[in-house]
Amino acid sequence: MKKNVINHERKKDYFLSLKTIRIMKLSVILLTLTLAQAFAVKSYSQRTRISLEMNDVMIKDVLSKIEKKSDFYFLYSPKMIDDTKKVNISVKGAKIDKILNELFKGTNTDYVIFGKQIVISNKTQISPFSQDPKKITISGKVIDDRGNPIPGVNIVEKGTTNGTITNNNGEYQLTVSGKETVIDFSFIGYNTQEITVGDQTVINVTMIESSISLDEVVSVGYGTQKKVNLTGSVDVISAKEMESRPVANVEQALQGASPNLNITLSGNGGEPGATMNWNIRGLGTLTGSNAPLILVDGVAMDINSIDPETIESVSVLKDAAASAIYGSRAPFGVVLITTKKGKKGEGFSLSYSNNFGFANAINLPQFPSSLEVAEAFNQAAANTGASPVFDDAHIQRIKDYLDGKISEEYDYANPYDNLENGRWEGNANYNWIDEFFKKNSLRQKHNINLSGGSKSTSYYISAGYYDQNGQYNWGDDSFKRYNLMANVNSKITNWLTFNFSTKYSKNKTDYPIGPWGKDRRNVYFELMHYFPTQPWYAEDGHLIHPIAANMENAGRERNDANDLMMTIGASIEPVKGWVTNVSYNYDYYSGVHTWFSKEVLVQTPAGNYQNLGPSLTRFKKDMNTSGYQVFNATTSYNKDINGHYFNLLLGYEQEINNYTGLYGDKGNLLSSEVPAISTATGDVNIDDWAGHWATQGVFGRLNYNYKEKYLFEFNARYNGSSRFSQDHRWGFFPSASVGYNIAKEGYWSGLVDFINNFKLRASYGSLGNQNVPNYLYLSTMDIRSQLEWIIGNSRPLYVNHAPNLISPSLTWETITTMNLGVDLGFFRNRLNATFDYYHRKTSDMFGPAESLPEVLGTSAPQENNAEMMTKGWETSVQWKDRINNFSYNFGFMLGDSKSEVLKYRNPDKWLGNWYEGQQVGEIWGYETDGFIQTDGESIPDQTYIWGGNWGPGDIKYKDQNDDGKIDEGAYTLEDHGDLKVLGNSLPRYNYSISAGVSWKGIDLNMFWQGVGRREFYKDMGASWNSVVFYGLVGEESQASVFKQHLDYWRPADDNVLGPNTNAYYAKPYFSDETYKNYQTQSKYLLNAAYIRLKNVQLGYTLPVDLTKKASIKKVRLYFSGENLLTITKLTKLFDPETGPASRGSGYIYPLSSVFSFGVNLTF
């Protein structure tokens, strides 16, 4: 891509006729060389031999011929070559230096070869002007910061075309027009320096290596921009940073990669194929998704369809200025992902990489021994006034089993006949956690890609495969992903380029269905109920664990998603600087989801057969497809007039998505081996759905900067969406931003060695949020199938409620963001720091209409009447340095946000809903005042909580309002009784730490990620779902005991498990009474802050001398570990990431630690 620009530069038309923009072009050349050089092959000039046979031609024709025949390209000013002289040349298989020596023999022309680029210069200065008395001839030497001369440095008298290039020794000589002249010294990879001549005649210059990141070109909306010129809040994550974490999906790779880019687990936890939740800079709306817009090569796409190997870079656009050009599509930021492309003239390159990982579930609760479980159960039953769960004989069997006196896992003399009762009947002592979870579950990843390009066409083709096995020991679950991608770019003429990109992905998941027909996410929860007494084996040796049997045999849930995306586009540049891009994208998605359940016949210990599965086999299938089309066209023109740089971009975009689906299920399979609709004979249900939505928008951007010092940008989009009624469909979203590069000021030059970059940024703008359901403005009948009532013999169709009251005036939520930022570079960019403060207000937010009396019988339609605000900041600090062969880096990122509700229709400030002034995430509850320790102890009147008895071991709540009784008052902000705010559940201070060293091919990287502050409350809920946290609650059939739960209150005279009056958990009950002690309260508020070693990687790149003998360019081997260490104060019953992510009940697929190794090969 960069090379492409170089080819442009060399076109005669421009080079000679458009002198005024030449300076700018030089900088572009330099910029592009930065990258080009990085890819140069060291020994190309030595390896390449060229044959030429040309007579009576001009030198430049020879050079041109060489470029055609080889990958060499020349950089020169035409003045340096005598364009009158004709030459003859005839060489066979000669090296380049020989040819050039021959060609320039007897001329003033010299050359320097850098890899494939050859800079042509003059041996001595030839002044293009007649001698002028004011003119001064200066000379000097240019060296790098280690004292080595730099050949090929461009030295140009500012504002003119007068210039030269340093020779092989870094020396130059230049005649300039006077003392006031400013000279630019520029060279790829180094910071450009401007020096005023003054009285000097000898000017020696030390060039300072620039950090790549500063001159880096980053993706912004509908284009690219130099990072140094950014005025919005944009963060860039390079492929290199992502490579340091060999994870399977982009979400994991980006977690913690940018401050305030928050990626957290969804309710599916660490399940194979689970997706994650995203937000940028915290909450933006209370009613819908807070997710950013994720664009892959400019097109919205499912992030999980992407193979991380194919990503070139990721830009995170955080503020309104950066994302306003996307208007209502991107209310909460944009993540721009650019995939890898081939490089023109790069030759063929083939890479292969793989990764083999071994995963083990982490942070699982641990069971105590079977005896402890039984005794705890009996105590909870006794507290309830119920008889023992495990009678004396049973306890004795448990003891005998533990002592090795008996080996039977249940009473063989009285075998039980209901497998689900096994845990009550058994006397075994299994640590089910060990049995439930796989050891070293294998996952593997392979990627092969080839890339390259001729002069006009480049290509990048990649194929990837990823296979992840799950963590449960039974009923193997898995996720597989196949990726195929090709990016082709072809330059048809010098002003027209076509590109074509196709991306295909196939994601397959295969899971056992949940036990007893429940959602599969209940697996963990159900497993946790099978405590150590549960027998594994019947007397005859067959397995009798009901969950294991269910997971192995109850049926499967499978998903097969295919996503094919094709983009075709053209880029036209008829006049230098005026670029028009047109592209059309079609994304075809098709998914097939199947689910079947069947009988699970297992012989019980008593000998009868029990069906643990459903009584009826059933097969369900749904298929859905969508066709998503995007068309966009942009045109931009840029021009630099005496340091005044303008870039204007205008564009149009439309999206349309059509989707449809078909669902069917049928009962009674003929054979559960072949589950299909056509092999079932029972009742049939079918359903379908279809829909579409579209958006349309025009947008524009104006960039202006003066000498890259004063920066200004204006963005706007006028956007329409089909989700709103005709009159409320269009919105205008402008933004403006300014920047000031202080370090570019002349007066700063003295400080440049210390602070080489100092930029202030400010932006303000607004965006729209159209992420609401379709058709809120239309009144429709909601017709459904499968009434919850049989009429005659079937469940008929029905209308679900009267139509909702409609919201004809519903329109955008408007998100207004103010951002202040500063970017700093110290010590020649060894240390870079950036800080942003933002303030994001969401107005016209969807909120409830005025509360109306219930006599209305429905809720009034939503209105745009609420408001919230999120304030936050983020900072990152990066240190990078190299000392000889040793390079190292260290990075720290930290982001924080908090949200407040500014307006919400809740006049009574009822705490059950949002209210004005509320800090989002606040947890209301009672303050715990310890346990009641003695009978008759004076406690407040707690009958509001529990009308029955209160006694020793029960919780005493604190009477906050001293009215002698504990209650919630009116549960409003004014009258909240004894409740108070205990904490806040939103994660604060998200941070990450990265560090790496490399030395002679060995590299070591590590990455930590964490949350600095988070309160977490495990709500007891209406049921006993939070058993993982509370343990002995609800009913004996729903309770479970982990080691932590044994820390429950027992009186001073307890002789079973011993006294425990200073316990964590209250006195347990096996009845509703249990809830009296588990009201939301301070005692059980958890601290979910953590820091986690997300990744450590040790790699070794074999010496090139060694590998090139095998014609391999690069071989790198590495070992990597994920999630190796977690530091947290949270109870061991939860993982700090999965705990708060689960569905309000403490059951979720666990995360894993992964040890992996892999190899990267480049041919």
Partner 1 sequence: MKKNKITFYGLFALLLLSINACNDDFLNRYPLDQISSAIYFKHASDFELYANQFYPSVFWDDATGSTNEGWNGGIYNFELNSDNMIKLGEPDSRLAGYNSVPSSGGGWDYTMIRDVNYGIANKGKCEDDPSQYNQYLGELYFFRAFAYFKLVRDFGDVPWVGKPLDPGSEELYGPRTPRTEVVQHIISDLDSAALLMNSGKMEEGTRVSKEVALAFKSRVALYEGTWEKYHHDDVFKGSTDGAEFLKQAADAALAVMNSGVYTIYSTGNPTQDYFDLFVQTDYAGWDEVMLYKKYDRSIGFVHHHDVASRYPYQKGLTRGLAVSYLSLDGQPRAVSPDFDESQCDSTATYESRHLDPRFGQTFASRDAVWAIDPGNPGGDTIYWYEPDVPPHSYMRCVPQIIDAAEGRGNTPTGYFRRKAFSPRMDIWKDWSDEDFGVIFIRYAEVLLNYAEAKAELGTITQGDVDKSINILRDRVAMPHLNIGGIVTDPNWDFPTLSPIINEVRRERRVELALENFRLDDILRWAAADELITGKTFKGVLYKNGDSRVPVDANGYVDRLRPQLPNGYGFQLDRDYLNPLPNDQLTLNSNLVQNPGW
753 or 1054: CB nearest partner 1: 1054
- Exposed, middle or buried by CB within 10 Å (0-12, 13-18, 19+), for 631? middle
What are the backbone angles phi and psi of residue 325, rounded to the nearest 5°? -65, -15
Question: Vertex 489, ends 9 and 715: CA angle to 5°?
Answer: 75
CB of residue 722 to partner 1, shortest distance in Å: 4
Structure tokens at 822: 């500063």
Closest CA to 591 of 229, 366, 173, 305: 305
> How many Å apart are CA 375 and CA 461, to the nearest integer?
64
278 or 1024: CB nearest partner 1: 1024
168 or 611: CB nearest partner 1: 611
203 or 373: CB nearest partner 1: 373
| Residues 1032/1068, Cβ–Cβ less than 8 Å | yes
16 or 606: CB nearest partner 1: 606
| Residues 940/957, Cβ–Cβ less than 8 Å | yes
Q: Write the single-letter amino acid at 897.
A: S
CB of residue 841 to partner 1, shortest distance in Å: 27
CB of residue 1076 to partner 1, shortest distance in Å: 9
Question: Vertex 77, ends 73 and 79: CA angle to 5°?
Answer: 135
CB of residue 778 to partner 1, shortest distance in Å: 7
Question: What angle, 0 to 180 degrees and rounded to 10, lies between the N-to-C axes of helices 96-103 and 59-69?
Answer: 170
CB of residue 1077 to partner 1, shortest distance in Å: 13
589 or 1007: CB nearest partner 1: 589
CB of residue 809 to partner 1, shortest distance in Å: 13
15 or 584: CB nearest partner 1: 584
CA 1119 remoteness from chain centre: 23
618 or 759: CB nearest partner 1: 618
149 or 952: CB nearest partner 1: 952
Q: Kindly report the length of the chain.
A: 1163
CB of residue 555 to partner 1, shortest distance in Å: 12
Provide the 3-class DSSP secondary structure of residue 391: coil
CB of residue 226 to partner 1, shortest distance in Å: 28
CB of residue 925 to partner 1, shortest distance in Å: 17
* Residue with tokens 């008593």, as numbered in its chain: 606
DSSP readout, 849-873? -----GGG-SPPPPEEEEEEEEEEE
CB of residue 951 to partner 1, shortest distance in Å: 11
Q: Which residues 6+ apart lie within 8 Å of 105 measured at CB? A: none
Structure tokens at 1108: 């090139």
> How many Å apart are CA 220 and CA 334, to the nearest integer?
9
465 or 498: CB nearest partner 1: 498
CB of residue 1111 to partner 1, shortest distance in Å: 42
Q: Write the single-letter amino acid at 171.
A: E
550 or 876: CB nearest partner 1: 550
> How many Å apart are CA 1145 and CA 1139, to the nearest integer?
9
> How many Å apart are CA 558 and CA 655, to the nearest integer?
31
Q: Characterize the bridge pairing of strands 478-493 and 496-512.
A: antiparallel
| Residues 534/423, Cβ–Cβ less than 8 Å | yes
CB of residue 948 to partner 1, shortest distance in Å: 4
> How many Å apart are CA 122 and CA 691, to the nearest integer?
68
CB of residue 1071 to partner 1, shortest distance in Å: 4
CB of residue 391 to partner 1, shortest distance in Å: 5
CB of residue 794 to partner 1, shortest distance in Å: 7
- Range 16-47 burial, b when 16+ CB lie within 10 A, else e: eeeeebbbbbbbbbbbbbbbbeeebeeebbee
CB of residue 976 to partner 1, shortest distance in Å: 11
Structure tokens at 808: 């004809």
204 or 611: CB nearest partner 1: 611
| Residues 603/615, Cβ–Cβ less than 8 Å | no
508 or 795: CB nearest partner 1: 795
CB of residue 522 to partner 1, shortest distance in Å: 12
Question: How far is the first Cα of the chain from the last one, in angstroms, to the nearest whole number?
Answer: 21
125 or 654: CB nearest partner 1: 654
> How many Å apart are CA 369 and CA 963, to the nearest integer?
45
912 or 1058: CB nearest partner 1: 912
Long-range contacts of 1020-1025 (CB under 8 A, 24+ apart): 1020/1075, 1020/1078, 1020/1079, 1020/1080, 1021/1144, 1021/1145, 1024/1074, 1025/525, 1025/1144, 1025/1145, 1025/1146, 1025/1147
415 or 591: CB nearest partner 1: 415
654 or 1101: CB nearest partner 1: 654
The DSSP output letter for 84 is S
Q: Write the single-letter amino acid at 664.
A: G
| Residues 618/665, Cβ–Cβ less than 8 Å | yes
What are the backbone angles phi and psi of residue 832, rounded to the nearest 5°? -120, 140
Q: How far is CA 1111 from CA 95, 629, 987, 1106, 1117, in A?
A: 21, 44, 51, 9, 17
202 or 1022: CB nearest partner 1: 1022
Q: What is the CA radius of gyration of the chain?
A: 35
CB of residue 611 to partner 1, shortest distance in Å: 5
Question: What angle, 0 to 180 degrees and rounded to 10, lies between the N-to-C axes of helices 392-402 and 370-384?
Answer: 160
